[in-house]
Amino acid sequence: MTPGELPVHRIGTADFDAIANGTGDIAALRLLREAERSRRLLLVRAITDLVAKDPVARGPLAPPDEAWDLLARAQNSAPEAVDLLLGHPYTGTWAGYTIRLLRRQITGVCPLWTHTGHLHALAAAAAIRAGLDFTATIPVWASTAMLPGLGVARFQDGSECRDNRGLATGRDFRYPEPPETYMVAEVRRTGTVLELDNGRQIVRVPADPATDGPGWWGLRQVTAVSGDRVLSLCLDDLDPYRGSFEPVLPQRLPADELENWRHLLDEAWRLIVRCLPDTADAFPIGFSSLVPRPMQPFRTTSASSGEAFGSAVISRPADGASLAASLVHEFQHNRLSGLMHLRQLHGDDPTERFYTAWRDDPRPVGGVFQGVYAFFGVTAFWRALARLEGEPFQRIAHFEFAYWRQAVWQVLEVLRADPWLTVDGGRFLRRIAEKLGPWRREPVPTSSATAASAALLDHYAGWRLRHLRPDALVVRTLAAAWSAGRPRPALGFLPDADPTPVPDGLWHHARLDLTRLSLTDPIGFVRRWQDVPGATSADFAYVSGQFTQAAEGYRAELSADPDSPTAWTGLGLALSRAVTGPAGSVLLHQPELVRAVHRRLAAGGTAPDTPDKLAGWLGWLRTGTRPARS
C-alpha cells in the first residue's frame, strides 16, 4: 500500500453539472468518495513521514512505521477493511487536524503524541476488521481509548461516568477534571479474543464490537427504511475527532435520546425519499455518520467539515421535517467539499464582505459559495414538501420554500458577479440559477410569501445595524440639522461602507422562531410563545398581527435600551405594517444611519421622544417632501 499506487481522480462535465444542479447520481458520489480515500491515504503517509523524523512527536508510542506496516498487512489481507477506515469521516478530520499541528509545530487540546498516535489506533482498527492477530499500543485520553469505527474502551478510575447532558448515569467512572490524564494501552488480538490493557485494567471487547460490554461502548448504527431505500448511519457519540473543530471526549447518548433519534431519522428519511428521490439514491453513498447534539429550543443547528466527508453534527430537532432539511443541507456541504478537492471554484479571498440570510456575520467568498449550494438543496426539499398533499408539515413548508428561494437568489446574484470566481465556479452557479430561477415564479400562499419577505427584511436590517458603520461626517451633519430644527440636508447618494466583522450590539432570532412556531403549532402558539428564547411581548404582538401594539412595545424597549438592534428592526417591521409614511422603510433599509444619528442626538440631549420621528424626518426628506418636525 503506497501513495504511488493511487489513481488520478478527475470529474467529467456531466457529473460536474449533475452535482451543481442538485442531482448528482450514484456514480458521481462514488467518484467523490474514492477521491477522498486517496486524499486521506496521502495525508496518513505524510503524517507517518513527519512523525518518523521527530521522535518527540510520537511520545511513548512505537515508531509510526509500525502502524503503517500494520495497515499494509491489513490491506494485503482484506483491502475492504482499510477502505472502510479511510472512508470513515473522522479519519479525514483527524488527518487534517494532525497535519496542521505538525506543520505549524503547535500542540492541540492534548499532548501532540496523543494526536499523532491515533495513527496506531487506525491501524489497529483496520487489523481487527481484517481478522489479523497483532499487538499495538494506542493513546488513552481521560481513561478512554478509541478504536475508530468500532468503539471505545473505558478504563475505570473509581468514579462515575456522565453523559452528554452532564447527568450521572450510574456507571463506574467519570472523566477526570483538568488536568487530563494521558497514557497508553496495549491492544491485543489473538484468534477471537480482543482486549485492551492499560497496565492496571484489561477491557475485553465483545465478539460484536457494536454492542456494549463491561468497560466497552460500541459504535451505534441506526437504520431507516422507506420502501426499497435504506439509510444506515453511525450515530457517533464516541470518536474524539467527530467535532467540527477541536477533539472532544466521548459523550454517550442516553437510551431515551437514542430512541428519539431513531424515530426522527425514520420520519426524515421517509420525507427525503418522497421529496427528493434522486438525493435519496445518492445519500447512502455520500453520507455515513451523524454526530448527535442536544436539542436547542425552537432551533436546529448543524455543521460539517470539508475534511469529514460523509458526516455532520446536528442538534436534535423537534420533528422529522427539520431533521430532513438539516440532512439535505449537510449532504450538500459534503458534496461540494468533495467536489472542491477536484475542481477550484473560487479564489482564496478571506475578506468577510458578503451578506447572507443564513449567517449573522459578514462572510468570505468560500463560505458564501458553500451556503448558496447548501440552502439551494434546502429550498428544493421544502419546495417538494409543500407540494405533498396531506403532509402535516405542508404549512411550514410553504413558508420555508418562500423564505429560502428568495434568500438564496439574492446572494446568488451577487456571488455570480464576484471577480474571485473561477470559470468552473461560474459554471457551477449558472447550473444552480437555471434550476432556482423558475422556482421564484411558482405560487405560494400570500400569507407565507408575506411572512417570508418580512423575516428576510428583519434579518437584513439587523445585519446592517450590527455590521455597517455610517460615515461619521454624515451623522454629524444630520444630527446638527435636526438639533437646529432645519430640514434634512441634501446629501446625495450615500454608498454603504465595507462591513466589519465586529458586531455592534446583541442579536437574536426570536421573531423568526415565533413565526415558525405559529405555523407549526398554531393552537399552542399563544401558550408557548414565552418559551422562545429572547421573545418579548412586542415580538408576540408583531407575529400575531397586532402591529400598532407591537410598535408601542418596541418604542418602550428602545426607551429602556436605545441601542437594541432587535428593537430597532422590530419597530421598522411594525411601522411598515401599521402606518403610512417612510419611517418603517427607512428603519428596515438604513437602520444603522438612524441609530447612529439617534445616538449622537441622545448624547447631546436633543433626541426625539420616539425614534420613529427621526426615521420619518430622514425618510420624507429623501423623497423631497419636508414636513415640519414635531
Segment 162-176, tens digit of pLDDT: 333 332 233 333 333
- For cell 455610517, name the residue: 470
- For cell 492534548, name the residue: 110
Neighbours of 221 (CB within 10 A): 13
Give the number of residues written for the chain. 630
Mean pLDDT score, 378-392: 95
Number of alpha carbons in the 13 Å side-chain half-sphere of residue 75? 15
Mean pLDDT score, 441-470: 97
Strand order through the sheet with 311-315: 220-226, 229-235, 289-293, 311-315, 302-303
Q: What is the DSSP letter of 299?
A: B
Q: Nearest 5°: CA angle at 300, between 511 and 237?
A: 155
Q: How far apart are CA 271 and CA 382, in angstroms?
A: 10
Instruction: Mention every residue, 6+ apart, whose C-beta is less than 8 A from residue 343.
Output: 11, 16, 424
Which three-class secondary structure state does DSSP give residue 296? strand
Strand order through the sheet with 202-204: 202-204, 193-197, 182-190, 134-141, 144-147, 151-154, 216-218
The percent of residues in the chain predicted with pLDDT above 70, rounded, is 93
How high is the pLDDT of residue 342? Answer: 95
DSSP string covering 401-429, please? HHHHHHHHHHHHHHHHT-TTB-HHHHHHH
Helix (H) or strand (E) run with residue 573 in it: helix 565-578
Q: How far apart are CA 308 and CA 88, in angstroms?
A: 8
Q: How far apart are CA 545 and CA 292, in angstroms?
A: 37
267-286 pLDDT tens trace: 999 999 999 999 999 999 99
Mean pLDDT score, 506-530: 95
Helices (H), 53-199: 55-58, 64-77, 79-87, 89-104, 112-116, 118-130
Mean pLDDT of the chain: 92
The end-to-end CA distance of the chain, in Å, is 82
Q: How far apart are CA 114 and CA 109, in angstroms?
A: 10
Which three-class secondary structure state does DSSP give residue 335? helix
Q: Sorting pLDDT into bands at 50, 70 and 90, what band is 212?
A: very high
Instruction: Say if CB 597 and CB 618 are below 8 A apart.
Output: yes
Closest by alpha carbon to 499, among 347, 595, 356, 403? 356
437-452 pLDDT tens trace: 999 999 999 999 999 9
494 phi and psi, to 5 degrees?
A: -115, 100
Q: Sorting pLDDT into bands at 50, 70 and 90, what band is 620?
A: low
Q: How far apart are CA 245 and CA 284, in angstroms?
A: 25
Mean pLDDT score, 577-592: 92
